Structure 1
Amino acid sequence: MTSDSQAGLSRRALLGAFAATALTAAPTFSKAAGFLRGGGDIRRIRMYSGRTGERIDMVYWIEGKYIKDACKEITHFMRDWRNDLHMDIDLRTIDIMTAAHNLMDVSEPYMLLSGYRSPQTNAMLRSRSRGVAKNSLHMKGQAADLRLASRSVGQMARAASACHAGGVGSYSRSNFVHMDCGVVRSWGG
């Protein structure tokens, strides 16, 4: 009986060690930001611009690594279309957009209304609308104004807010949602 008992302990010890190793070695999102849990091993962004007529549909992240050339294309796509200036887009914003898109379970691309804004463009828009922030995160490449034909502003805002990862502004009258990678907050209606 001693040998069976020792074998049982050995099996138990072996299984315990295996389980601990598997948990330690397995990729986990438990320490990642909440919005990344829905990101998956492959992240893909789909957008089009009504202003330039351009479209983008690309994988920009695979198994923990951003694809440099894809990120450059995203930066170019999200440039200030008024003066063709650009700034590197903060990829946290793209991750939030992607996670929100996945949560809404849509295949339709986002319509990008505004990505990066030069200080000149921001000042011009601010002079025309009180809804434009003086120190807008658009000027840092950290924000996007987006629309989906198949989802309401409320649905988009709820999906973005569920990411718990940045600012979400609802602009129901203008039919778009602002997403950024700044401090977690929300506004509008």
Structure 2
Amino acid sequence: MTETSTSGFTRRSLLGAFAATAVTAAPTFANAAGFLRGGGDIRRIRMYSGRTGERIDMIYWIDGHYIKDAVKEVNHFMRDWRTDQTKQIDLRTVDIMAAAHNLMDVSEPYMLLSGYRSPQTNAMLRSRSRGVAKNSLHMQGQAADLRLSSRSVNQMAKAAAACRAGGVGRYSRSNFVHMDCGVVRTWGG
């Protein structure tokens, strides 16, 4: 039996994408073989927010199923902290974040700079910066801007791009990486 998510992806296709990620990244990342053996049986996400002071460190997927309470906590954590609005975060983005984290073999949590953005927040940020898209995937709950102090922007971007599952933007001047579950593409420097 194949389980279909609300996004139209099957569990099997998502697990296949993660397996392909590990195989593709094997020459570059020492932990890739271990990631492949796990096959997605357990997925964990670790993040903190410098804006709210909140932290999460949780398993959100076990044996082919998302954990409902963990997903609710991720949605709340990744809310627009400026307006306190939440949105259902696309779990494909969380999966990309978790896979990239595993490939980098770090225990340090991501610093979440931006998850969901309300249209008002996106418009405000867009008025201040050319780098904010008018129809940003952040407004759909499909993107995250992340930082790790123990890894460079290039290392993070390389791990995320190895997932071949969405967009990866390098923002070296601002020291963060954008990850989303949209069309596979890369940009920035």
Match of 2:124 in 1: 124
Assess, with a 3 A threshold, how the Cα gap between structure 1 residues 87 and 106 changes in structure 2: closer, same or farther: same
Structure 1 residue matching 2:16: 3-state secondary structure? coil
The residue type paired with residue 154 of structure 2 is: G
Unmatched segments (≥5 aa) in structure 1? 1-27
**Structure 2: how far apart are the matches of 1:84 and 1:30?**
31
**Structure 2: how far apart are the matches of 1:54 and 1:36?**
31
Unmatched segments (≥5 aa) in structure 2? 1-11, 24-34
Identical-residue share of aligned pairs (%) = 81
The residue type paired with residue 16 of structure 2 is: A
Structure 1 residues 28-37 or 63-72, which shifts more? Answer: 28-37
Matched ranges for 1:14-93 at <5 A: 32-33=16-17, 34-35=20-21, 38=35, 40-93=40-93
Match of 1:107 in 2: 107
Assess, with a 3 A threshold, how the Cα gap between structure 1 residues 121 and 29 changes in structure 2: closer, same or farther: closer
How far 1:36 sits from its partner (Å)?
7.7
Contact kept in structure 1, 2:44 and 2:57, CA below 8 Å: yes
**Structure 2: how far apart are the matches of 1:31 and 1:47?**
23
Matched ranges for 1:135-154 at <5 A: 135-154=135-154
Q: TM-score normalised to the size of structure 1?
A: 0.82
The residue type paired with residue 50 of structure 2 is: G
Match of 1:134 in 2: 134
Match of 2:155 in 1: 155
**Structure 2: how far apart are the matches of 1:106 and 1:44?**
12
The residue type paired with residue 47 of structure 1 is: M
- 4+ residue segments displaced more than 2 Å: 28-31, 34-40
Contact kept in structure 2, 1:153 and 1:172, CA below 8 Å: yes
The residue type paired with residue 157 of structure 1 is: A
